Amino acid sequence: MIQQIDHIGIAVKSLDATIPYYRDALGLGEPHIEEVPTQKVRVAMFDVAGVHIELLEPTSPESPIAKAIEKKGEGIHHIAFKTNDIGANIQKAKDAEIIVLNDPPVPGAHNTQVSFLHPKCTFGVLTEFCQHPCSGDCGCQH
């Protein structure tokens, strides 16, 4: 089931304005950048010893990230847990009467499948389950 923290999502207005801080001031190197149309965001991922910092820039005013920035400003948006069985994690959350926002899971960055838990049920922390294509069982660094 849950294997480790996969990433910490940070909502930002602009990747171009934010990347230099993480790349240059913190020395995290060049990020992997991609667009995730299903979430209406562009993401920049920095690897920090197997845990990622995921910067999320909205690509549409209807993006959940755009709405979060409008409501709360830039900053930490969610924490994601890597899982090798997202379906079981979703069921376990439902059994605990947690509101699951994505059932079935939806496509995320790096060809992952993702599902979010409503922060009203998780003590204010938007929580994500994240399953990589290989399920993390192959020994790779996904």
Q: Among the residues of 1-142, which ranges form H helices?
A: 15-20, 64-72, 86-95
**pLDDT for 134:** 76
Query: Where residue 137 falls among pLDDT bands split at 50, 70, 90?
Result: low
> Quick one: average pLDDT of 112-138?
89
pLDDT at 85 over 90: yes
Domain definitions of the chain by residue range: 2-131
Distance CA 11, CA 68 (A): 8
Helix (H, G, I), strand (E, B) or coil at 47: strand
Query: Where residue 141 falls among pLDDT bands split at 50, 70, 90?
Result: very low
What Rg, from alpha-carbon coordinates, does the chain have?
15
The number of beta carbons lying within 10 Å of the beta carbon of residue 62 is 9
Distance CA 128, CA 37 (A): 18
With a pLDDT cut of 90, the percent of the chain lying above it is 92
Mean of all residue pLDDT scores within the chain: 94
**pLDDT for 130:** 97
**pLDDT for 142:** 47
pTM of the model: 0.90
- Name the residue with tokens 């069982």: 137
CATH number for the domain running over 2-131: 3.10.180.10
> Quick one: average pLDDT of 71-100?
97
